[in-house]
Amino acid sequence: MKFDETDKKIIDCLVKDGRKSYVELAEEVGLSRVAVKDRIENLIEKGVIENFTITVNSEKFGKKVSAFFEVDVEPKNLQEVAGNLANNPNVASIYQMTGPSTLHMHVLVNDFKMLEEFINNELYAVEGITRVESNVILKRFKSRGGYKL
């Protein structure tokens, strides 16, 4: 799939502020409103733009503890464990990583008591999980706001 510089500019503008109108985007990239709308619809249709969303400051929303987990899972249990964890409201993101059946997971909880409960009840108690390693975030310097072209 090929993209020209205008497509890249449109995506960059949307990554910075997904609320921009077609008119504002058109002014920034030097096209008409209709041309920008068509390009965005094309990017959506091709799956380049998956959705439009917001970035929430989880701390200000009450989720004061943010942690990353490396979770090793027996291969036969990987899909089931990953699916169950993905449905947990405390799990912000989960990915299968290279390695013997490792899940990389970002968890947001209100406090350390909730983190302890999550670890004990949602990880250690699950059949098929063989190892759990966690790292609590102390300070956020940058958060993914989309792909920078």
Q: What is the pLDDT of residues 32-69, one digit of tens each?
A: 999 999 999 999 999 999 988 877 778 888 899 999 99
Residue 110 structure tokens: 């209100």
Residue 128 structure tokens: 């098929």
Cα–Cα distance between 70 and 85 in angstroms, integer? 13
Cα–Cα distance between 80 and 83 in angstroms, integer? 5
Average pLDDT over residues 120-133: 94
Average pLDDT over residues 98-103: 85
CA nearest neighbour of 111 among 67, 63, 68, 69: 63
Cα–Cα distance between 65 and 67 in angstroms, integer? 7
Average pLDDT, the chain: 91
Distance of CA 60 to the CA centre of its chain: 18
Cβ-based neighbours of 88, under 8 Å, separated by 6 or more: 118, 122
Task: Provide the whole-model pTM.
Answer: 0.74
Residue 145, pLDDT score = 57
